């Protein structure tokens, strides 16, 4: 040990002009080389402990975007924002639609979808018009679905004044509403009905357009007897204030009763 201490002091004195290492660093170096006589003041060996880390330099440019990772697993149902939550909502919506369809099939009629032409308190007489009327007892407002009166003084039907194309029956809903289809009937006490017709609609009576399908005016199949209700759904839901029926063919006389289907029921009937 005395020899090692003396060697350390001699070497430190000889290196007084270079960067002075600590005693620990010098002695560690001598012990590692096991030859004190060959020890020299080599700057590559006589280095102190590393200094403190300097300030961080500026950040480089962003690298190239990596490959997309594998899809994650479904989240837990009920947790908003996860795939599982969305799938659960879709499943519930599909179940609801199926239940509604089954409910519609179980009903004896589709009155839940009627827009109110059948009822005076919903669509008053003043909101029903026609191109012509056979008489004051065959007025447009009498053309309501299921309208019937056995009295000899009333005729619960709309009948046009002439049996020609160009006649029409119109309903004003008061504001634009979604309409999904129409239900028609013939004249209850006579063999008179409309067997085919077209439909036009608009938000003003001066801008009516005919419902089209495959680039042509859509011709709907109407009635074939006095009382059977025939439902025709439109190719798509329309949103309009005014809607008209334009008879194309008929039995004996242009006579009919009508109701319209709410757009919310489109595809359910």
Task: Write out pLDDT tens, residues 117-140.
Answer: 999 999 999 999 999 999 998 999
Residue range 76-102: mean pLDDT, rounded: 77
Residue 49 falls within a domain, yes or no?
Answer: no
Those residues with Cβ within 8 angstroms of residue 247's Cβ, 6 or more apart along the chain or in another chain: 160, 165, 167, 168, 194, 196, 197, 222, 254, 256
Co-location of 166 and 182 in the same domain: yes
* pTM of the predicted protein model: 0.61
Place of tokens 């199949």: 221
Task: Assign 242 a pLDDT band (cuts: 50, 70, 90).
Answer: very high
Residue 65 falls within a domain, yes or no?
Answer: no
Co-location of 155 and 202 in the same domain: yes
Q: Which of 127, 216, 228 is nearest to 169 (CA)?
A: 127
Task: Assign 9 a pLDDT band (cuts: 50, 70, 90).
Answer: very low
Co-location of 98 and 177 in the same domain: no
Q: Which range is least confidently modeled, 51-60, 120-129, 228-237? A: 51-60
CA dihedral for 74, 76, 81, 83, sign (positive or negative): positive
Co-location of 118 and 98 in the same domain: no
* Predicted confidence (pLDDT) at residue 173 exceeds the cutoff of 70: yes
- Domain count within the chain: 3
235 against 28, higher pLDDT: 235
Judge whether 208 and 246 are in contact, CB under 8 Å. no
Co-location of 94 and 142 in the same domain: no
- pLDDT score for 11: 47
The whole domain housing 21 covers 2-38
Q: What is the mean pLDDT of the chain?
A: 81
Co-location of 119 and 100 in the same domain: no
Residue range 154-169: mean pLDDT, rounded: 93
Nearest-angstrom CA–CA distance, 115 and 62:
62
Residue 43 falls within a domain, yes or no?
Answer: no
Residue 58 falls within a domain, yes or no?
Answer: no
Co-location of 143 and 251 in the same domain: yes
Place of tokens 């859509």: 218
* Predicted confidence (pLDDT) at residue 71 exceeds the cutoff of 50: yes
Co-location of 135 and 248 in the same domain: yes
Residue 192 falls within a domain, yes or no?
Answer: yes
Residue 45 falls within a domain, yes or no?
Answer: no
Co-location of 90 and 148 in the same domain: no
């Amino acid at each position: 040990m005395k020899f090692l201490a003396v060697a350390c002091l001699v070497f430190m004195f000889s290196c007084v002009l270079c960067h002075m290492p600590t005693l620990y660093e010098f002695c560690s170096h001598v012990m590692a080389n096991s030859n004190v006589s060959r020890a020299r003041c080599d700057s590559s060996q006589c280095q102190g402990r590393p200094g403190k880390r300097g300030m961080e330099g500026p950040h480089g440019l962003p690298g190239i975007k990596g490959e997309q990772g594998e899809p994650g697993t479904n989240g837990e149902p009920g947790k908003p924002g996860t795939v599982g939550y969305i799938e659960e909502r879709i499943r519930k919506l599909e179940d609801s639609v199926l239940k509604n369809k089954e409910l519609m099939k179980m009903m004896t009629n589709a009155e839940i979808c009627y827009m109110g032409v059948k009822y005076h308190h919903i669509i008053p007489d003043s909101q029903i018009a026609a191109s012509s009327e056979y008489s004051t007892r065959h007025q447009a407002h009498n053309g309501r679905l299921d309208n019937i009166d056995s009295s000899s003084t009333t005729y619960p039907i709309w009948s046009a004044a002439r049996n020609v194309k160009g006649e029409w029956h119109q309903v004003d809903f008061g504001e634009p509403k979604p309409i999904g289809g129409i239900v028609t009937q013939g004249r209850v006490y006579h063999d008179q009905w409309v067997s085919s017709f077209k439909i036009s609609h608009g938000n003003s009576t001066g801008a009516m357009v005919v419902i089209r399908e495959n680039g042509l005016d859509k011709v709907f199949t109407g009635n074939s007897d006095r009382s059977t209700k025939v439902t025709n759904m439109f190719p798509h839901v329309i949103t309009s204030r005014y809607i008209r029926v334009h008879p194309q063919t008929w039995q004996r006389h242009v006579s009919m009763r009508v109701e319209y289907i709410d757009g919310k029921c489109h595809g359910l009937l």
